[in-house]
Homo-oligomer: A and B are copies of this chain.
């Protein structure tokens, strides 16, 4: 249990560390919720990881967190729009920070180990995509909130491990 977490990617970002918490606090307040130490710890772990984490990974990253509280607070953060639950191929729910806090991106989902990495696509394509999706939604009377573009396959590790 409690898996390890990859280091903070390249090391970019970082700039808006304080800004991050300010924004989170704002969103929580808007939802009449407090920004408690436990919730702050969750946000920090997710921000440091820079990719969607399972609850176990989150717990493993900061053992001051109790399992039930982690689940409960991730729920609170999700309702406040601070984090999103990401569903992959395996049976574990993963959480990541809202895109407003990290930038719009997509996921590379490993069909073997279930891990998730982020990537982005060209802005032009992204725009064309948005237009096309909006049209499709209109056709179906569907009120689109956001889109999800994932690439499913083998991560470098699993591919190297020969499957």
The reply to whether the CB of A113 lies closer than 8 angstroms to some CB of chain B is: no
Q: How many copies does the complex hold?
A: 2
Contact B145 A111 (CB under 8 A): yes
CB distance from A145 to the nearest CB of B (A): 4
Contact B156 A142 (CB under 8 A): yes
A: number of interface residues (CB 8 Å): 39
CB distance from A160 to the nearest CB of B (A): 8
Contact A133 B154 (CB under 8 A): no
The reply to whether the CB of A136 lies closer than 8 angstroms to some CB of chain B is: yes
| In the complex with contacts A88-B87, A89-B87, A125-B129, A137-B108 CB distance below 8 A | yes
CB distance from A153 to the nearest CB of B (A): 4
Q: Which of B88, B120, B132, B153 contacts A122 (CB 8 A)?
A: B132
